[in-house]
Structure 1
Amino acid sequence: MDLQLVKKGLLNYTRRKKRWALLLAALGFSTYTAYKVYHFPSLAEKRKRVSKIFGAFVAVVEAISDSADTIGVVSKDL
């Protein structure tokens, strides 16, 4: 009885939804692969380097902005 129910219900459901099952399996595999690639040690180092470069660039832009404000105040006083 249980075997017939499994064959009739579960396997039939899987056959009807085969496309969805394959799509979910492909999505899971691609997500796992992207996660593993993202956490490669070499890519992690590159991410850190890019982050440091971006942080330095932001600091330079802030310094330029502050100096422009200073120059504006000084020129206004003169």
Structure 2
Amino acid sequence: MSGAAGPVEVLDCRGQRCPLPVIALARRLHELPIGAVLRVLADDPAAAVDIPAWCRMRGQEFVAAVPDGPGYEVRRTH
């Protein structure tokens, strides 16, 4: 997880299908300060693959899948 501070913001993409959660993540993450963590709530099964893959391609840090819900945490690195 993201540590004691938790995510800076939660982006609710539940009910959206690929590629909408990744598009929303890309738009919102770059509005946050470097080092911030964004929790993306996404219940589309493709998000489990798409979000970590997007992080690798864009050089952002995939922190973790949130164990208690359909969510993923991403830290802005640049």
Q: Same fold (TM over 0.5)?
A: no
Q: Which has the higher contact order (CA 8 A, sep 6+)?
A: 2
* Pairwise TM-score range, normalised by the shorter structure: under 0.3
Could you say which structure has the higher helix fraction? 1
TM-score scaled by length of structure 1: 0.22
Relative to the length of structure 2, the TM-score reads 0.22
Larger Rg: 1
